[in-house]
Structure 1
Amino acid sequence: MTYTIGEFSRLINLSIHTLRYYELEELIAPRRLENGRRCYSENDLTWIQFIRRLKDTGMPIKEIQKYAKMRAIGDPTLEGRMELLIQHRQVLHQEIKQLEEHLENLDDKIDYYKNVIVKRQEQN
């Protein structure tokens, strides 16, 4: 199945402007019809969903561009793409560890306040 830019925009809930930006940034390369109009496919849908997941994980656009360029080349870049994802996974693990430390510090402070409040209530 193929989609016009408007249909594709509604389907994936991204603005036409964003799709054009992604194309300008060489993240996507929709096929062009004889009349010059963009034509999106199911493969484009899958690819956009993956781009969104990468963005949701905080991967910078420059890294997504690098991945997209390797993807466009094809199978000879499989190892490079995997390495890029492994590196990003390491970044995510570090961020998760830092967030867990922040959460632990907040929990400690909340426990402190709970104890102080309970002691005050017992004194009254």
Structure 2
Amino acid sequence: MSLTTAARVRPEGQEHFSISEVVSFTGLSAHTLRWYERIGLLNDVHRSHTGQRLYTNDDLDWLDFVRKLRLTGMPVADMVRYAELVRAGDQTMTERTQLFREHREVVKQQIADLQTTLAVLDFKIEFYEGVASGCTP
């Protein structure tokens, strides 16, 4: 499932979710969820007495944030570094801020590039609509 696919809304009042429910809520694959846990991007996933992963609402909120970072193109290594900084505590706020400031510049450039591309697409659409309606450029 793609990152832009609409995920199912999670039910209110429920505190623990199976991996299949999290797949449904987030659009991430079970493989990706396990990988996130393995690389330290998702920390301390609770387990049932049978060893089954039990995700919390906090885990789902974190995954939603990670999804947003992925949409911006943030490298996984930077996301893992951010997760490590969060776990290290409040004394890392300056480093976290710097990490996001640097990535914000990358996102601003992506937006500028997309705006330029959008202008080209708009021009082409206007051109082809003009040709189709019998107007010559």
TM bin, normalised by shorter chain, reads: 0.7 to 0.9
Q: In 1, distance between residues paired with 2:122 and 2:24?
A: 42
Structure 2 gap segments, 5+ residues each: 1-14
TM-score by length of 2: 0.70
- Alignment length (residue pairs): 119
Question: Is 94-103 or 55-64 further displaced after alignment?
Answer: 94-103
2:90 corresponds to 1:85: no
Query: Match of 1:102?
Result: 117
1:111–1:14: structure 2 CA closer, same or farther, 3 Å change rule? closer
Any idea what the Cα deviations from partners look like across 1:51-102, whole Å, max 9, x if unmatched?
A: 0010011111111111111111121111211211111111111122222233
TM-score by length of 1: 0.77
2:135 corresponds to 1:118: yes
Q: In 1, distance between residues paired with 2:39 and 2:66?
A: 12
Any idea what the Cα deviations from partners look like across 1:5-29, whole Å, max 9, x if unmatched?
A: 3333333332221110111121001
Q: In 1, distance between residues paired with 2:90 and 2:62?
A: 16
Question: What do you get for the CA RMSD once the two structures are aligned?
Answer: 2.5
Which of 74, 77, 84 is the matching residue for 1:62? 77
Query: Match of 2:39?
Result: 25
Among all aligned residue pairs of Structure 1 and Structure 2, give the percentage whose two residues are the same amino acid: 37
Structure 1 gap segments, 5+ residues each: none
